[in-house]
Amino acid sequence: MRHGKKVNHLSRQSGHRKAMLANMACSLIEHKRINTTVAKAKALKQFVEPLVTKSKEDTTHNRRIVFSYLRNKYAVTELFREVSAKVGDRPGGYTRIIKLGNRLGDNADMAMIELVDFNELYNGGKKEEKKSKSRRGGKSKKVETTVPVAETPAPEAPETSSEETPSAE
* Bigger pLDDT: 164 vs 103: 103
* CA–CA distance, 95 with 115 (Å, rounded to integer): 4
**pLDDT at residue 121 in the model:** 82
Q: Identify the pLDDT of residue 135.
A: 67
- Res. 25: pLDDT tops 80: yes
Share of the chain above pLDDT 70, in %: 73
CA–CA gap between residue 29 and residue 81 (Å, rounded): 11
Q: Is the pLDDT of residue 159 over 80?
A: no
Dihedral in degrees, nearest 10, Cα atoms 116, 72, 54, 110: 30
Which one-letter DSSP state was computed for residue 96?
A: E
The residues near 32 (Cβ < 8 Å, ≥ 6 apart) are 114, 115, 118, 119
Position 123: which residue type?
A: N
